[in-house]
Amino acid sequence: MAYKKKFRKYLEVLEKLRVKQLDVYRYKDKDVLRLFVRGRVVVVELPKHREDMSVEEFEKHIRAAIGGEQ
């Protein structure tokens, strides 16, 4: 449960954007997210781990990846 609490603020950003997180792949230096956006699956490669990013920076990368859709 501590894991969910740690990333709750990032999940809230996804909920605000009406995006469902399917998977998170954690690599040595970055995270890759699989998201369900308006009937399609989008893979978003973040430049670093989510916890190393501010919430605003995270939201900016997600918005750019999904084309600003809401």
- Percentage of residues in the chain having pLDDT higher than 90: 81
Instruction: Tell me the mean pLDDT in the region 13-28.
Output: 94
In this prediction, residue 6 carries a pLDDT of 80
pLDDT in tens, 24-39: 999 999 999 999 999 9
Task: Reply yes or no on whether the pLDDT at 5 is more than 80.
Answer: no
**Mean pLDDT taken over the chain:** 89
What is the pTM (predicted TM-score) of this model? 0.84
E strands within 1-70? 20-26, 31-37, 40-45
| Coarse DSSP helix, strand, coil percentages of the chain, rounded to the nearest 5 percent | 40, 30, 30
